[in-house]
Chains A and B, each alone.
Chain A
Amino acid sequence: MEVDSKSISTQALEELSKELIQQRDLGITEEGERLIELQIGPTHPGSGHMRIRVWVDGDIIVRCDPDIGFVFRTIEKLSENRIYMKTIPLVERPSLLDTTPMTIGYINALEKLMGIEPPPRAKYLRTILAELTRIASHLYGIGIFAIFLGHSTGFMWGFGDRELFVELANQLSGARITYAYVIPGGVRRDMPQSFPDNVEKALRYFEKRLPDWYKMFLNNPVVEKRLREVGILRKNDAAKLGITGPNLRASGIEYDVRVADPYEAYDELDFMVPVADEGDAYARALVRFEEIKQSINIIRDALRKMPGGDIIHPQIARMFNPLMKKIYEESRRVKFPGVFASLKPPKGEATARVEAGRGEALFYLVSDGSPRPYRFRWTTPSYRNAILFKYLVPGHRLADLPAIYGSIDYFPPEADR
């Protein structure tokens, strides 16, 4: 990788872009007419709208330029013009497959501002839903990964088994993907009676399916051959580029927000975090499978240790009117008190971090005492991983581009926000 990140001045950048424009117009590059420029995208090349410009010399990619921003939705600016509650469904939208960790992060920041902490049962419920979402998100990622390699069964199995966890989340929250389950001070509804039983059945089924997954996908000689030694991200490169999530851990760095800065119920639960040394596409896929196994452990442990009690902070429960109180006690469904329409956290700022399916997400919330946030800053894992295209792809064959794209589990809407 001969890309020199040390000293690129503005002048050099201008020259570079001028050169690029000229090359594009003439269809030639520094190596004469050897290079062909291919535009992968921008209409949904894989997991969302983005464009990847690659220059190939024969079949070898010499330069790769991810062009992000096709699904930029100004989430941060939009949230400045909305009351705090309205931003909860908003943060779900960009990372649609990974909704709960994002809402947890936002709500954690908001709760820090408001100075309240949810009751333990609510924390456990949040954790369970977050882990169900993580499994679903990983299965989606593996499915997309598989179809990138032309492995259609991996794709269908990924989506088919994901259905299981989506349905479990539906049982818990009442929606399949956009749960909006986490609210300031707690969660919106308690788990139904049959939930632990259903979860146990689903997890047992999935554990039985995992050997088939390995035989069909990871141990499959064709898949293995496509992934081994492809897109190697070395440990120091990963640290230097600020990579996060399973991609970081597949490069051998032991970092996970759930361990480094435990939120919700993670510090009370029993789980391990997988780390691999190789840093290639195969290791990244392997780490994802291992994480699914660990998420299963977390869900089991959380259901076992699930404390009783309230699911909403008493300060909020106090504001219920008699009808709301009746509904809360009878069907364990939290009605919103009117104050939710005009939450005014005191002046100040708060940050929260979560480990979403694709890595660490950071939330920074500034309140000026009004019902709308003064500033909301949100860094998503995909945004931090987007740089990998530029560094991992060159030197590989064109057919390796989908393999690398799939292995870093990049999700354009999440990166663009």
Chain B
Amino acid sequence: MIQEILLLKELLGNNEMIYRTVIGLGYMLIYPGLIMIVIAAALLLWAERKIVALVQLRYGPLWISRRIGGALQGFADLIRFSFQEVIIPRRSDVIPFLLSPGLAILFSVLPIAFMPVSPYIKPPIHSDIGLLAAIAVISVAPIFIVLMGWASDNKFAFVGSLREALLIVSYEIPFIISILSMGVMFGSLDFYEIVERQSLLPGMLLNPFAFLASFIAMLRVTSRFPFEISEAETEIVAGPYTEYSGLMFGLSMGLAYIKLYVYALMVSLVFLGGWLPIVSGEGVIGGFLIPSLIVILKLTVVSLVAVFLRAVYGRYRIDQAIRIGWIHVFALSIVSLVWSIILVYGGWVRWA
């Protein structure tokens, strides 16, 4: 397809505007955007169930596509959700109720526009404050989760969305601080420069505190165990998603996995060195395919570790989670910021 796009570029006589529109649409809708995200979310769902099943002495999903270990289960679920009836509670606030899952997903996918996956094809918005912009956009998504609970007019949804709001505040701040401390250390907020400057040592070794803090905060922000508190099944049914059914439920459940994909992409770019060790290849294969495969590999490792924790942990109580957020994780993120400053001003790291 890349070849065709290049052909298109020639046909259009190097019309930069149209070229960038086509590439940008492809970037946002196909790879690494929407379609890739759906595939990744479905596979992540399957991988989570399979890994957890291994720990729990059982098989996990196996009935659909038996030969490949039930890998298509996620897609089957997606199809099932799409054909189920969507029930709208009579007392709900209909427009926010219907719009908020879609908007939450929109704002979770949008940061992709700032994040590169390869040196060859640049993201639609190539900005020198890409890191900050990506964080800013993805921070909007939780508002719609709160809106979901509010619009449902259900006690459990209400309690769930309150929990979400409380927890998001106490974990997004450490996440932002620890990610930005990497920006301080690398002296840049441009993803390309950040990746380039990890060619000697990946970010997680340069600033392990930031990695730990942002990984823990990522677990919470993407509703992973042990912080899966806003959807706690045994306490408040499904939290903000209680009243959703059919495709809407599929969307709101998939939201956590979509966010996990985006956050894991961000973590693998900032801490794991993105497409390194490939510095910059030539052409489509060397410059796009292989680097993005490396990025996907790193992203997969990060998200598999995140989903594996479901097998190990229960969930914290909300006050304990908030305490951990504000005392331990926040402190860790401050330490990471100080560490970055020491490294930069002590002259330990120096960028050309």
Contact = CB atoms under 8 A, between A and B. Distances in A.
Interface of A: 36, 38, 46, 59, 146-154, 156-157, 160, 216, 220, 222-223, 225-226, 397-402
A149 B233 CA distance: 10
A225 B316 CA distance: 8
Contacts of A59: 159, 318-319
Contact of A399 (B58, B226, B312, B318): B318
Contacts of A157: 56-57
B318 A397 contact: yes
Given A156-B57, A160-B56, A150 B319 contact: no
B37 interface: no
B317 A397 contact: yes
A399 B155 contact: no
B55 interface: yes
A400 B320 CA distance: 12
Interface string B295-329: 00000000000000011111111111000000000
Contact of B315 (A38, A150, A400): A150
A153 B56 contact: yes
28 contacts: A36-B155, A36-B159, A38-B156, A59-B159, A59-B318, A149-B315, A150-B232, A152-B52, A152-B310, A152-B311, A153-B56, A153-B311, A156-B56, A156-B58, A160-B56, A160-B57, A216-B312, A222-B314, A222-B315, A222-B316, A223-B314, A226-B316, A397-B318, A398-B235, A398-B236, A399-B235, A399-B317, A402-B234
A146 B56 CA distance: 13
A385 to B, nearest CB: 19
B215 interface: no
Nearest to B323: A225
Closest 5 CB pairs of A and B: A151-B314, A156-B56, A149-B314, A150-B315, A150-B314
B225 interface: yes
Contact of A398 (B159, B225, B228): B159
Given A151-B313, A225-B316, A401 B52 contact: no
A38 B57 contact: no
Interface string B123-162: 0000000000000000000000000000000011001000
Nearest to B324: A225
A174 to B, nearest CB: 26
A398 B236 CA distance: 9
B159 A154 contact: no
A150 B58 contact: no
Interface in B25-68: 52, 55-58
Contacts of B310: 152
B229 to A, nearest CB: 8
B57 A150 contact: no
A131 B322 CA distance: 43
B312 A150 contact: no
A370 to B, nearest CB: 48
Nearest to B310: A152
Interface centre among B56, B317, B318 (most CB of A within 10 A): B317
A140 B234 CA distance: 17
Nearest to A58: B162
Contacts of A149: 234, 314-315
Contacts of A220: 312-314
Contacts of B155: 36, 38
A283 B310 CA distance: 25
Interface string B9-24: 0000000000000000
A147 B233 CA distance: 9
Interface centre among A46, A150, A157 (most CB of B within 10 A): A150
Interface in B199-232: 225-226, 228-229, 232
Contacts of A398: 159, 235-236
A6 to B, nearest CB: 33
A222 B313 CA distance: 7
A226 B314 contact: yes
A154 B235 contact: no
Given A150-B313, A222-B315, 4 more contacts: A46-B234, A157-B57, A220-B313, A225-B317
A225 B321 CA distance: 10
Nearest to B231: A150
A150 B228 CA distance: 9
A28 to B, nearest CB: 15
B162 to A, nearest CB: 8
A149 B55 CA distance: 17
Given A156-B58, A160-B58, A222-B226, A150 B317 contact: no
Nearest to B311: A153
Contacts of A150: 225-226, 228, 232-234, 313-315
Given A36-B155, A222-B226, A153 B312 contact: yes
Contacts of B320: 225-226
A149 B155 CA distance: 21
B235 A401 contact: yes
B125 to A, nearest CB: 39
A183 to B, nearest CB: 35
A156 B156 CA distance: 26
A147 B56 contact: no
Contacts of A225: 316-317, 320
Contacts of A156: 56-58
B59 to A, nearest CB: 12
B318 A146 contact: no
A36 B153 CA distance: 13
Contacts of A397: 317-319
Contacts of B234: 46, 147-150, 402
Contacts of B236: 398
Contacts of B58: 156, 160
